[in-house]
Amino acid sequence: MRVLVSGGAGYIGSHTVVALIASGHEVVIVDNFSNAKPTVLARLEALTGASIPLHAFDLRDADKTERLFADEAIDAVIHFAGLKAVGESSERPLDYYDNNLGSTFALVRAMARHGVHRLVFSSSATVYGESATAPFTEDLPTSATNPYGWTKVMQEQILTDIAAATPGLQVALLRYFNPVGAHESGTIGEDPQGIPNNLMPFIAQVAVGRRERLSVFGGDYPTPDGTAVRDYIHVMDLADGHVRALEYLGEHPEVAVRAWNLGTGEGTSVLQVVEAFADASGRPVPYEIVARRPEDLAVTYADATRAETELGWRAERTIEQMCADTWRWQSANPQGYPG
Ligand code: NAD
Ligand code: UD1
């Protein structure tokens, strides 16, 4: 298949580009570089040996999106493009609704006009809201506690409604737990701009000496060591999950819309991640325990059985590999991508 990867210059998108090409697919990227650097393309081409067309524009530009579908023979779309910072989404809600919903509208309209019937959408475990108890199953009701989360809930609903009204359209809603790690080459990885919001990139920047110490948000959760528990999943396992979901849609034309959790099904505490990273990197990771972060849940992890039974996909890589691969990327690229 020739797959359009929206947001393909970003963290998860770039890793999925590698997995798609490794599985024999062709890739076209569209990205506006609002949260990525153009230098990722040379890394992707070196890694895959493929020439990858990249269209640099904002998907909300309906004319350009239309032209892209007219010019490139697209068979399927994986839609990563979006803004993703929870805290920022509460400060700039209109930007989040406009970007995340607007890009989806333009994309789905162009798909309909050009007869493209397969869409894999980046959703998040955040759609389980705050009332669910782990492990989370896909049939739990969805809700959210912040504008970012609402954009995911809304996009899932919008895509479900459109799929119901459009014969032949197929949509996979992939709900990621906590993606971390990097490609094992260490040449591509997560490159957050400014102070990282998420745990693993923050730890990596402490280990490499860019930041003094980690603040562990909360040491009094009802968990074995008092720190919060998450389901960390290696980004290359996640990438493979996208390839499987795409292929599954092709094998199951009767499926119009379906949600799958992509997680390991196992929880790891903040302090366990700190320890695993210190072991993998051979560097100390100084930390201090501070107040809880508002809105954080104590324990989240996936029930990952649906993806295993239906897609035949399971996350394979351990927390040790996640840390080792993050460290390989971070130590070889202490300031992230050049440019
Ligand atoms: P990312 O910011 O690295 O990648 C998103 C890419 O989309 C960026 O390269 C950005 O420049 C591009 N983009 C944003 N808006 C665009 C627009 N309007 N037009 C064209 N390009 C645009 O983020 P990521 O971590 O790779 O996440 C990818 C997707 O997965 C996002 O939708 C995110 O919400 C979702 N997700 C991420 C996580 C996570 O922990 N990283 C967890 C759950 C869900
Ligand atoms: C966060 C988002 C979630 C989003 C996910 C992936 C919030 C409230 N939730 O999830 O919506 O889908 O990222 O992008 O922002 N931690 C520290 N110190 C730090 C950073 C994090 O102790 O400097 C802790 C957090 O309290 C949490 C764990 O590490 O317990 C993981 O945090 P993070 O990587 O931000 O992911 P989530 O909070 O699970």
Nearest residue (by CA) to ligand 1, atom 6, is: 7
Nearest residue (by CA) to ligand 1, atom 43, is: 124
Q: How far is the CA of 169 from the centre of ligand 2 (A)?
A: 34
Is 124 within a domain? yes
Cβ of 103 less than 6 Å from ligand 1: yes
Contact status, residue 170 vs residue 119, Cβ threshold 8 Å: yes
Q: How far is the CA of 33 from the centre of ligand 2 (A)?
A: 23
Contact status, residue 65 vs residue 106, Cβ threshold 8 Å: yes
Task: Work out the pLDDT band at 47, boundaries 50, 70, 90.
Answer: very high
Cβ of 69 less than 6 Å from ligand 1: no
Query: Which pLDDT tens digit goes with each residue over 240-249?
Result: 999 999 999 9
Question: Which is the closest atom of ligand 2 to the Cα of 297?
Answer: 30
Cβ of 293 less than 6 Å from ligand 2: yes
Task: Indicate the number of domains in the chain.
Answer: 1
Question: Which is the closest atom of ligand 2 to the Cα of 292?
Answer: 26
Is 194 within a domain? no
pLDDT of 132 higher than 90: no
Question: Which is the closest atom of ligand 1 to the Cα of 152?
Answer: 34
pLDDT of 336 higher than 90: yes
Cβ of 60 less than 6 Å from ligand 1: yes
pLDDT at residue 119, as a whole number: 98
Contact status, residue 136 vs residue 302, Cβ threshold 8 Å: yes
Identify the bridge partners of residue 172 per DSSP, sorted by sequence position.
120, 258
Query: Which pLDDT tens digit goes with each residue over 171-227?
Result: 999 999 999 999 999 999 999 999 999 999 999 999 999 999 999 999 999 999 999
Q: Which ligand is nearest to the CA of 179?
A: 1
**Helix, strand, coil tally for the chain in percent (to 5):** 40, 15, 40
pLDDT of 131 higher than 90: no
Is 334 within a domain? no
Neighbours of 280 (CB within 10 A): 19
Nearest residue (by CA) to ligand 1, atom 16, is: 81
Is 175 within a domain? yes
Is 192 within a domain? no
- What does the mean pLDDT of the chain come to? 97
Task: Work out the pLDDT band at 332, boundaries 50, 70, 90.
Answer: very high
Where do the H-state alpha helices sit in the chain? 11-22, 40-48, 62-71, 86-91, 93-113, 147-165, 199-207, 235-251, 270-281, 305-306, 319-332
Active-site residue, from 148, 176, 287, 301? 148
pLDDT at residue 98, as a whole number: 98
pLDDT at residue 293, as a whole number: 95
Question: Which is the closest atom of ligand 2 to the Cα of 217?
Answer: 22
Cβ of 217 less than 6 Å from ligand 2: yes
Cβ of 215 less than 6 Å from ligand 2: yes
pLDDT of 339 higher than 90: no
pLDDT at residue 179, as a whole number: 98
Question: Which is the closest atom of ligand 1 to the Cα of 81?
Answer: 7
CATH of the domain at 249: 3.40.50.720
The tokens for 240 are 């493979």
Nearest residue (by CA) to ligand 2, atom 21, is: 199
pLDDT of 288 higher than 90: yes
Is 268 within a domain? no
User: Is 221 annotated in the active site?
Assistant: no
Query: Which pLDDT tens digit goes with each residue over 289-311?
Result: 999 999 899 999 999 999 999 99
pLDDT at residue 68, as a whole number: 98
Is 287 within a domain? no
- Which residues, including other chains, have CB under 8 Å from residue 213's CB and lie 6 or more apart? 206, 286, 287, 288
Could you give the percent of the chain with pLDDT greater than 70?
100
pLDDT of 126 higher than 90: yes
Structural domain harbouring 99: 2-180+232-263
Question: What does DSSP say about strands 229-230 and 268-269: parallel, antiparallel, or unpaired?
Answer: antiparallel
Nearest residue (by CA) to ligand 1, atom 33, is: 84
pLDDT at residue 267, as a whole number: 98
- In terms of phi and psi (left: phi > 0; alpha: psi -120 to 50; beta: otherwise), the region of 213 is beta
Cβ of 196 less than 6 Å from ligand 1: no
Is 176 within a domain? yes
Cβ of 336 less than 6 Å from ligand 1: no
Q: How far is the CA of 242 from the centre of ligand 1 (A)?
A: 15
Cβ of 80 less than 6 Å from ligand 1: yes
